Structure 1
Amino acid sequence: MGELQNSGLLNVASLAISAIIMVIGLVLWFFVNRTSSRTNEQIELLEALLDQQKRQNALLRRLCEANEPEEKPVAKAPEAVAEEDEDDFIRLVAER
């Protein structure tokens, strides 16, 4: 009779341990799944931000190009040309 009680007790203990492991596994799965879904939401938000920033950069480039003043070539004054010629001549003279 003692053998029957021991085997029944082992079955109940085995069943209880299995139930506890299953509950722990479910709790862990819940938190991992929750973290994963939050991470996916954050990734989607970051991708949306990146897309908006790319659009803003493109708009800013267009605005900068539209507001950029046109450069006109400026002719050098004859005095500046003469000074440059003098500097060139001085560079040609060897120093001792």
Structure 2
Amino acid sequence: MNEMINSGMLSLSSLLVSLVVLLTGLVVWFFVNRASSRTNEQIELLEALLEQQKRQNALLRRLCEANEPDVEPVAAPAPAVVQDDDDFIRLVAER
């Protein structure tokens, strides 16, 4: 009779351990799956944002090119040569 009680207790404890492991596995799976789906949503949003930024950059580039003034290149006057007696080269000793 004692063996029947012990064997019943053993199967009940193994069943209880199995249920605890199963519940723990389900909880871990739930949080991993939730984090994965959130990450996928964030990646999709970032890709959409990147595409919008590319379109905005293209529009801005076209707008800047359209608003550039048509200025003909003017020949710049030659820079005036200034001769100082206190030039830096005079401070360096010559050999």
Asked whether the two chains share a fold, i.e. TM above 0.5, the reply is yes
The answer to which structure has the higher helix fraction is 1
Partner of 1:2: 2
CA deviation vs aligned residue, 1:40-87 (integer Å, no higher than 9, x gap): 0111011000000011001101100110112222245xxx65x72xx2
State how many pairs are aligned: 87
Q: Report runs of 4+ in structure 1 exceeding 2 Å deviation.
A: 73-76
CA distance in 1, matches of 2:34, 2:90: 81
The normalised TM-score by structure 2 is: 0.77
Q: Name structure 1 gaps, 5 residues minimum.
A: none
Identify if the C-alpha distance between structure 1 residues 2 and 71 changes in structure 2 by more than 3 Å, giving closer, same or farther: same
The normalised TM-score by structure 1 is: 0.77
SS where residue 21 of structure 2 aligns? helix
Q: Name structure 2 gaps, 5 residues minimum.
A: none
> RMSD of the TM alignment (CA)?
2.4
Sequence identity (%): 62
CA deviation vs aligned residue, 1:15-48 (integer Å, no higher than 9, x gap): 1110111011111111111111111011101100
